[in-house]
Amino acid sequence: MKAEIVSIGTELLLGHAVNTDAAFLARELAQLGIDLEHVATVGDNPGRLKACLLEALSRSDLVISSGGLGPTLDDLTKKTAAEVLGVDLALDEGSLADLKEYFKGRHMGENQLLQAWLPKGSTPLKNTVGTAPGCLAETASGKLLALLPGPPRELEPMFRDQLAPLLARRTGCAIVSHMVRTFNQSEGDAALKLGALCDGANPSVATYIDELNQTYVRVTAKAASRAEAEALADPVVEQVKELLGDVVWGVDADSLEQTVVRLLAERGEEVATAESCTGGLVAKRLTDCAGSSEVFRTGLVTYANEAKTRLLGVPEDLLARVGAVSEEVARTMAEEARKRAGAAYGIGITGIAGPGGGTPQKPVGLVWIALACPEETYVRKLPPFGGRYPGRDALRQRSAGMALDMLRRRLQGRPVVA
Amino acid sequence: MKAEIVSIGTELLLGHAVNTDAAFLARELAQLGIDLEHVATVGDNPGRLKACLLEALSRSDLVISSGGLGPTLDDLTKKTAAEVLGVDLALDEGSLADLKEYFKGRHMGENQLLQAWLPKGSTPLKNTVGTAPGCLAETASGKLLALLPGPPRELEPMFRDQLAPLLARRTGCAIVSHMVRTFNQSEGDAALKLGALCDGANPSVATYIDELNQTYVRVTAKAASRAEAEALADPVVEQVKELLGDVVWGVDADSLEQTVVRLLAERGEEVATAESCTGGLVAKRLTDCAGSSEVFRTGLVTYANEAKTRLLGVPEDLLARVGAVSEEVARTMAEEARKRAGAAYGIGITGIAGPGGGTPQKPVGLVWIALACPEETYVRKLPPFGGRYPGRDALRQRSAGMALDMLRRRLQGRPVVA
């Protein structure tokens, strides 16, 4: 089955929103073995939307739209879809009852009622989070058109719980895709390490950069069943891991931090953090993970020197002598965080995230990252990555990632400082 | 000038990456007064890419591609673009020199050299961050095709510093777009408050949801010059602000946290944080903002009861009596954070972010948020938003946002608890 996504919303064409729905739907369709060949984005313009839906239905078996189902005037999807299908809109009593239930005890604006009108003959898809229901319709020639709401927290459960089961019944072939994830490995070097492995067609092996600018390798296999596809993919995943070595922190793992939380939980150990330039980012990333309360109890954000002394006992004369951004202060922060929290590991980070605040001796982008362990404290310095300042956000994410990766290496028995 | 974006990469169609490039380019094109009507996404497939580029060039004056310029085998954009343009690839000496400079003193793989080959006759666009140069080519019929790299940190400066100036010379008309941003305001109610204002065509007024699920209102005006467009937009922006009231925290402001940092800096005041379920997210969001070191010195992540007592002096018997997730503990955390850091304001957050850990008395999603001010401490409770559990990430972002918005309200002289 060939599929296509049509993302609707002028906010996407003006860049006021990022199309995360397309990424979500793409992942889910791949899991169902449905080939996604195009994603098109159009504004809240009925003419262009109609042209786009017609073109998509002409070349694909399944078209999924996202957006434009809400109660406001620019929400034109259902009306336009009904035209494309050649049917009228009809009031769906179930959706109306859901809307009334949603607004029970609260004021419901007149405009909300519009949301209960769906293309005649379509199957309603209940919105368990927000107000606008979706629907799945079939064209005269047997193609499928699904209309989903735009907000990701509404679209995602609607797809997973309602649309996906309807689609799964219609497909036969399975695609399995595994991601081998790395930290501090350039994409070009990864491709060189993998060599001829990247030439394979089934499984295919390809390198990518994730949203944190880290390389990952995707191994994708196609077969008649999920089990056969897995059997094709598995040995290739093992080869990729072996060729890349220590930089690999996980396969199909959610995130580096989730991997760290899991490894700590398995050992019954804890980590404590003391952050300066990352300002709580390591703590935030650790506590993004469900289960983090078992392995992370205390984090300190000591953005000012006074806070480093008051909360961590970093000696004032050390700060005066070597400065807050120094190997010694990073080391002390990690060791004191560890000791004061009674944790097995302590992370200390101090640096100059920029864009301001650099000096010739300590340029913007200089970050010291320490990991205190029971036996020894390891310290690393940024930048090693090509040496150019990547901007404040990227530098903070890299610094936090480096700290997490040092701990990951320790917990997996790899060299902490490569 | 009509423009179209073609985003290239199988990772986008498999949902392994989110198309942030399209959002960035869309914003930048709008600023240049260039109408973006379509965004198309295709995989690393030469046939479909070629069809897509040809279709885009048939209906638009400017086509910008992102992705597929790197050193790996799936990077096919330049070869395909050269076919579409009817020219060969030629080695660009300037790009070759840049590549050699980039790899100076380090190993350069053979595959890296491929990046210096560009469609013959095109204008090279230097990559100041990574290795793959871009280019701008003109078709026989005078249409423009720009090839940009995929990684956002490479694409963004290349567009802004090199492609945008080339494009600006070619356009006449200006679009001005302003965003009125709110917190804790549903999109439907915003539309009702705005009423007939949403019917206007120039300026147009439309409601949207941002990535943190908060409503914003976009006012867009078109005119021959930027100044004329501004003069059309400004009074409508003022009307929107007046109709929406206290929920508005800024216009065109980067973020709620940047607004808070700016307001604090203007008053020479500081905030300190004590976070439990948000685990450093408020600290992270504050320190995302350049300039935060002037207004934020200390943040505590007291994820465990023991840490609340040790670092904040929350009495053990209080924790035993009312529990960590309680109005009293949130209040004490905020007040102690404020007092211990010597800051004007203190934020305290304690709650159950889930998905586990709820009880009938204290369900998942219950969060207490306190703001300690010199004169008084304010406390709010989540959920007020429709009452459904939105998931861990969204709940943590909302809780952090609520704390930041309470402080924003205080600093703007609005009622802290609406």
Residue A175 pairs in a beta bridge with A222
pLDDT in tens, A97-117: 998 888 877 778 888 888 999
The number of helix segments (H) and strand segments (E) in chain B equals 15, 17
Query: Mapped to the 3 state alphabet, what secondary structure does B42-102 carry?
Result: ECCCHHHHHHHHHHHHHHCCEEEEECCCCCCCCCCHHHHHHHHHCCCEEECHHHHHHHHHH
A323 phi, psi to nearest 5 deg = 85, 155
Residue-level pLDDT at A387? 62
Residue of A nearest to B186 (CA): A130
Among partner residues B27, B40, B211, which is closest to A15 by beta-carbon distance? B27
From the list A44, A151, A206, which residue is nearest B74 (CB)? A206
Q: Report the C-alpha gap between A39 and A26 in whole angstroms.
A: 9
Q: Do B284 and A287 touch (CB under 8 A)?
A: no
Residues B369, B295 contacting (CB under 8 angstroms): no
State the first-to-last Cα distance of chain B, in angstroms, to the nearest integer.
Answer: 46
Whole-angstrom distance, CA of residue A210 vs CA of residue A310: 38
C-alpha Rg value of chain B to the nearest Å? 26
User: B151 vs A216: CB contact, 8 Å cut-off?
Assistant: no
Residue A388 predicted with pLDDT over 80: no
How open is the CA angle B130-B132-B135, to the nearest 5 degrees? 125
Is residue B102 within 8 A of residue B94, CB to CB? The reply is no
CA distance B33 to B59: 18
Predicted confidence at residue A355, as pLDDT, reads: 86
Per-residue pLDDT tens for A180-197?
A: 999 999 888 999 999 999
- Contact in structure between A171 and A1 (CB atoms under 8 Å): yes
Looking at residue B211, its pLDDT comes to 73
A333 phi and psi angles, rounded to 5 deg: -60, -45
Spatial contact of B229 and B221, defined as CB atoms under 8 Å apart: yes
Residue A52, pLDDT > 90, answer: yes
What is the per-residue pLDDT across A332-387, written as a single tens digit (0 to 9) for each? 999 999 999 999 999 999 999 988 888 888 989 999 999 999 999 999 998 765 56
- Three-state SS for B324? coil
Chain B residue with minimal CA distance to A37?
B42
Element (H, E) at B333: helix B327-341
Question: Left (φ > 0), alpha (ψ -120 to 50) or beta: where does A100 sit?
Answer: alpha
B201 vs A contacts (CB less than 8 Å): none
Select from B13, B29, B192 the Cβ nearest to the Cβ of A109. B192
Residue A122 is given by DSSP the state P
A17 CB contacts (<8 Å, ≥6 apart)? A9, A11, B23, B208, B209, B210, B211
Name which of A61, A45, A34, A37 is nearest A11 in CA terms.
A45
Nearest to A26 among B12, B39, B353 (CB): B12
Task: Using a CB–CB cutoff of 8 Å, tell me whether A290 touches chain B.
Answer: yes
Nearest CA in chain B to A105: B386
Residues of B in contact with A211 (CB under 8 A): 17-18, 20
Residue A22 banded pLDDT, cuts 50, 70, 90: very high
**Nearest to A35, CA basis, from A6, A60, A16, A70:** A60
pLDDT at B387: 62
Question: Under the phi-then-psi rule, with left for phi > 0, alpha for psi from -120 to 50, and beta for the rest, what region is A113?
Answer: alpha
pLDDT at B114: 87
Please give the Cα distance from A334 to A342 (Å, whole number).
12
Tell me the C-alpha distance between A48 and B59, whole Å.
12
Residue A395 pLDDT class (50, 70, 90 cuts) = very high
The one-letter code for the residue type at B105 is G
At A173, list the tokens: 């072939």
Q: Which alpha helices (DSSP H) does A247-302 contain, by range?
A: 256-267, 281-287
- Reduced to 3 states (helix: H, G, I; strand: E, B; else coil), residue B136 is strand
Instruction: Give dist(CA A45, CA B51) in Å, integer.
Output: 24
pLDDT (mean) for A128-141 = 92
pLDDT at B165: 80
CA separation (Å) from B115 to A201, A275, B5? 24, 39, 21
Q: For residue B283, which residues of chain A lie inside 8 Å, CB to CB?
A: 279-280, 283-284, 301
Q: What's the rounded mean pLDDT across residues A62-84?
A: 89
Enclosing H/E stretch for A177: strand A174-182
Report CB contact under 8 Å: B74, A153. Answer: no
H or E element, residue A300: strand A296-302
Contact B17 A23 (CB under 8 A): yes
How confident is the model at residue B105, as a pLDDT? 74
Cα separation, B408 vs A159, whole angstroms: 37
Name the token pair of A3. 């599929």
Average pLDDT, whole number, for chain A? 91
Buried/exposed code over A262-273 (b: 16+ C-beta within 10 A; e: otherwise): bbbeeeebbbbb
What per-residue confidence (pLDDT) applies to A153?
86
Instruction: List Cβ<8 Å contacts ≥24 apart for A308-312.
Output: A308/A274, A308/A276, A308/A333, A310/B298, A311/A274, A311/B298, A311/B300, A311/B311, A312/A274, A312/A336, A312/A337, A312/A340
Best residue of B32, B298, B364, B395 to probe chain A, by most A CBs closer than 10 Å: B298
| Residue A93, token pair as written in the block | 């009593």
Residues in B 166-225 with any Cβ partner in A closer than 8 A? 177, 179, 187-189, 191-192, 198-199, 206-211, 213, 216, 218, 220
How many percent of chain A have pLDDT more than 90? Answer: 68
- B208 and A16 within 8 Å at the Cβ level: the answer is yes
Is residue A231 over pLDDT 90?
Answer: yes
Chain B residues whose beta carbon lies within 8 Å of the beta carbon of residue A253: none
What phi, psi does A9 have (nearest 5°)?
Answer: 155, 125
Interface test with B, best of A64, A72, A398 (most B CBs within 10 A): A72
What share of chain A in percent tops pLDDT 70?
A: 98
* Nearest-by-Cβ selection for A303 from B28, B293, B355: B293
3-class state of residue B376 by DSSP: coil
CA B5 to chain A, closest CA, distance in angstroms equals 9
Q: B104 CB near a chain A CB, below 8 Å?
A: no
- Is B23–A12 a contact, with Cβ atoms under 8 angstroms apart? yes
Q: How far apart are CA A258 and CA A296, in angstroms?
A: 12
Residues of B in contact with A392 (CB under 8 A): 288, 290
Picking from A21, A75, A87, the residue whose alpha carbon sits closest to that of residue A49 is: A75
d(CA B331, CA A362): 40
A299, B304: Cβ pair inside 8 Å? no
Which of residues 293 through 352 in chain B touch A, CB cutoff 8 A?
A: 293, 296-304, 306-307, 310-311, 341
CA quadruple B252, B255, B258, B263: dihedral, nearest 10: 60
**DSSP-derived pairing of the beta strands B345-351 and A248-251:** unpaired
CA A43 from centre of chain: 25
Is A109 part of the contact surface with chain B (CB cutoff 8 Å)?
yes
Of the candidates A17, A388, A396, the beta carbon closest to that of B23 is on: A17
Cβ-Cβ contacts under 8 Å for A396 (sequence gap 6 or more): A277, A278, A279, A281, A353, B287, B288
Q: Among A38, A283, A354, select the one facing B279 at the smallest CB separation.
A: A283
Chain B residue numbers touching A341 (CB-CB < 8 A): 307
CB burial readout B75-108, b (16+ within 10 A) else e = bbbbbbbbbbbebebeebeebeebbeebeeeeee
What domains are defined for chain A?
Answer: 2-168 (3.40.980.10), 174-251 (3.30.70.2860), 256-411 (3.90.950.20)
Cα A280 to Cα B298: distance, rounded to the nearest angstrom = 10
**Can you say whether residue B280 is alpha, beta or left, with left for phi > 0 and alpha for psi between -120 and 50 degrees?**
left
Cβ atoms of B28 and B160 within 8 Å: the answer is yes
Overall average pLDDT of the A163-188 stretch: 84
Which B-chain residues 359-378 have CB contacts (< 8 A) with chain A? none
Q: How far is B201 from chain A (nearest CA, A)?
A: 12
Consecutive sets of 10 residues in chain B, 418 residues long: mean pLDDT of each?
A: 93 85 90 88 91 94 94 83 95 92 80 90 93 94 96 90 84 80 92 91 85 86 85 97 97 93 97 97 94 93 94 96 96 97 97 89 94 97 74 92 97 92
Asked if residues B171 and B1 have their Cβ atoms less than 8 Å apart, the reply is yes
SS3 at position A247: helix
To the question of pTM greater than 0.80 for the whole model, the response is no
Report the residue of chain B nearest A199, measured CA to CA.
B73
Q: How far apart are the first and last CA of chain A?
A: 46
ipTM surpasses 0.85? no
Q: Cα–Cα distance between B399 and A311 in angstroms, integer?
A: 25
Q: How far apart are CA B109 and CA B111, in angstroms?
A: 5
Please give the interface size between A and B, counted as residue pairs whose CB atoms are below 8 Å apart: 328
How far, in Å, CA of A39 to CA of A328, rounded? 51
**What distance in Å separates residue A197's CA from the closest CA in chain B?**
11
Q: Find chain A residues with C-beta within 8 A of B150's C-beta.
A: 209
